[in-house]
């Protein structure tokens, strides 16, 4: 039975019904698989395995492209959807597929942004359904933010530097090492970019590290300290699981605990 436009939009955005969960869990799994393929391709693997990985990645890209077109078709306000944050992230993830026939050297840089598609599920607590406390979800979001920043920058610097500096950026792990050392402003200097774009990315890494990383880590430490001072007392009114040790009432709904 064919679904109507309204039903299609509902199942693509719903994370509660079995069908909605199945669709979005499949998309999240494909994002992880495609990201793993990117990492695997940076290593010296047999040609036949590399070919199979390319075929799998192409199939995933086609699925993402079809999904984007279906989301666009089912959206009530198509202009609003096109300029929305999630739509832009989705479009960046599939641009290499549409522009693959054109010899654009750096278009493959966009594929490293595909990991950001998981933001949609994190914002809706879809990937953290087993975490009951609000602080736990925030804690997981912070960790994912740090992971995503390092992953994207590592992919970008590898894609830019490996063709001209394969000794310094031989694998994805080398790029991760460089990204972490650069963003934490440690700067050992044992690996350095030599291309102009690589140096520009390094500047962006440093600026991101100085501006964003301390804020994220500071928030993470505050959450850890706050959680350490709380006890597990489930509120009968709203179900909030953790409260301050000396709390007499729920901080969310005011119910006596």
Residues shown for the chain: 257
Contact by Cβ (8 Å): 76, 84: no
pTM of the predicted model as reported, rounded to 2 decimal places: 0.73
pLDDT tens figures, 83-134: 888 788 888 777 766 665 444 455 566 677 778 777 766 655 555 555 555 6
Q: What is the C-alpha separation between 154 and 65, in angstroms, rounded? A: 25
Phi, psi of 50 (to 5 degrees): -60, -40
CATH match for 1-124 among 3.40.140, 1.10.3470, 1.20.120, 1.10.8: 1.20.120
pLDDT tens figures, 223-248: 777 666 777 788 888 877 777 777 78
Task: Name the residue ranges covered by the structural domains of the chain.
Answer: 1-124, 127-227
Contact by Cβ (8 Å): 245, 257: no
For domain 127-227, the question of CATH label 2.40.30.10 is answered with no
């Amino acid at each position: 039975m064919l679904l109507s436009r309204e039903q299609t939009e509902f199942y693509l955005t719903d994370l509660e019904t079995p069908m909605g969960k199945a669709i979005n869990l499949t998309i999240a799994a494909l994002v992880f698989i495609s990201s793993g393929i990117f990492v695997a391709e940076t290593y010296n693997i047999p040609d036949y395995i590399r070919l199979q990985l390319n075929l799998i990645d192409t199939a995933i890209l086609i699925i993402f492209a079809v999904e984007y077109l279906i989301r666009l078709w089912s959206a009530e306000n198509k202009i609003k959807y096109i300029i929305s944050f999630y739509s832009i992230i989705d479009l960046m993830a599939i641009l290499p597929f549409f522009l693959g026939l054109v010899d654009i050297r750096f278009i493959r840089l966009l594929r490293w942004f595909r990991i950001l598609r998981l933001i949609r599920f994190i914002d809706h607590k879809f990937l953290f359904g087993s975490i009951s406390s609000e602080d736990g979800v925030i804690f997981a979001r912070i960790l994912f933010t740090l992971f995503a920043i390092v992953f994207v920058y590592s992919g970008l610097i590898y894609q830019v530097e490996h063709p001209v500096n394969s000794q310094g950026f031989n694998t994805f792990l080398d790029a991760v090492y460089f990204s972490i050392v650069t963003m934490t402003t440690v700067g050992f200097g044992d690996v350095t970019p030599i291309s102009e774009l690589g140096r520009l990315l390094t500047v962006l890494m440093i600026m991101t590290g100085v501006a964003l990383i301390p804020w994220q880590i500071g928030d993470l430490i505050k959450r850890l300290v706050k959680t350490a001072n709380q006890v597990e007392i489930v509120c009968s009114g709203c179900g909030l699981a953790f409260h301050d040790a000396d709390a007499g009432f729920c901080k969310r709904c005011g119910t006596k605990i």
